[in-house]
Amino acid sequence: MREFACPACGAPGTFQSGISVYAVCAYCRSMVLRRDAGVEAFGKMAVLPPDMSPLQIGSRGVFEGLSFALVGRHKIGWSDGTWNEWFMATDDGRKGWLAEAQGFFAVCFELPWVSDGRTAVNRDLGHWKPVPGEQVNVGLRLFTVVDLKEAMVLGGEGELPAVTPCGKKYRVIDLETSDGGFASIEPAGQQARRVYLGRYTEWGELHIENPRSLEGW
């Protein structure tokens, strides 16, 4: 854990995860970039629209025996809706995400960065034109393409492992297995910007402590 004072407003903040690269100041919404020597502010984050998420920064849980804490969130939008991606700080240092969309939860982990996307995905990402129903190997498993989306970050809060400018569109390819496996590929030119691998889960399986309190529920 590393503490800092927001360069814009002076409010205290922390980096809980060693892999976070920036944080959104909880008070003035300044984006605070993590530097070796200190921190640097670089603009303001948009206010997140209200939602009914039962999660919040500070919620903790256990997934398949792995303890995690939610330390940051991106709200992503696409033409037909929005979803939340909660950044999970875990003991094993992997980049874990708890995605929350259309009433479903999925836990996935970013595959370690590979310079050539083919290491994780058996396609030439520079030329691949995925179609729904197409079968693709991601990691060691066979997935089916279910969805292609143009997504963009609408806003964020807490600390996050990558700087994603708000409003910049990127492609997302969602894949599933017949037994509830989930993968997501974000191609960027010849490379995969990010590849996530995980599975669908549900509220009861996440053992959430300190959930967001929802009045009336």
Partner 1 sequence: MAGFSVTPGRPILLNCPACGGSITLRAAGHSVTAVCAYCGSLLDVNRPELRIIEQSHEAARRPLITIGLRARFEDQPWEVIGYQEKSIGGLATEVPLMLQTFLSQKDSWQEYLLFNPYHGFRFLSQADGHWTLHRVVKGAKHLPKNQIFQRFSAGMATVDYVLGEFYWRVKKGDRAQISDSIAPPYVLSVEKTGDEINTAIGTYLAATEVAAAFGMDRNRLPKTRGVAPHQPSPFAARLPGILRIALAALAIATAIQLLQAFGSDGKVIHTESFDIATETPELTHVSPPFGVAGGSANLCLASQVNLDNDWAELEASLVNEATGETRTATLGMEYYSGIEDDERWSEGNPRASACFPAVSQGMYRLVLEADGGAFHTGQPGSRFFMVEVKRDVPIWSNWTALLLALLPYPGYLWLRHRGFESARWSGAE
> Of 4-12, 18-26, 99-107, 183-191, which segment contacts partner 1 by CB under 8 A?
99-107
Least distance to partner 1 from the beta carbon of 217, Å? 5
Nearer to partner 1, 8 or 146 (CB): 146
**Residues whose CB is less than 8 angstroms from the CB of residue 93 and which lie 6 or more positions away in sequence, other chains included:** 18, 19
Site for partner 1, residues 34 to 73, rule: CB under 8 A: 49-54
Verify binding: residue 150, partner 1, rule CB under 8 A. Answer: no
> Of 12-20, 24-32, 62-70, 171-179, which segment contacts partner 1 by CB under 8 A?
171-179
Verify binding: residue 180, partner 1, rule CB under 8 A. Answer: yes
Verify binding: residue 178, partner 1, rule CB under 8 A. Answer: yes
Verify binding: residue 93, partner 1, rule CB under 8 A. Answer: no
Q: Which of 63, 143, 182, 196 binds partner 1 (CB under 8 A)?
A: 182
Verify binding: residue 177, partner 1, rule CB under 8 A. Answer: yes
Cα gap 124→126, rounded to integer Å = 5
For the chain, the DSSP string reads -EEEE-TTT--EEEE-STT--EEE-TTT-EEEEE-SSSEEEEEEPPPPPP---S--TT-EEEETTEEEEEEEEEEEEETTEEEEEEEEEETT---EEEEEETTEEEEEEEPPP-SSGGGTBSS-TTT----TT-EEEETTEEEEEEEEEEEEEEEEEEEESS---TT-EEEEEEEE-TTSEEEEEEEETTEEEEEEEEEEE-HHHH--BSPPP-TT-
Least distance to partner 1 from the beta carbon of 68, Å? 18
Binding residues for partner 1, rule CB under 8 A, total 37
Nearer to partner 1, 161 or 181 (CB): 181
Chain contacts with partner 1 (rule: CB under 8 A): 49-54, 77, 80-82, 84, 102-104, 131-133, 146-148, 176-182, 199-200, 202-203, 212-217
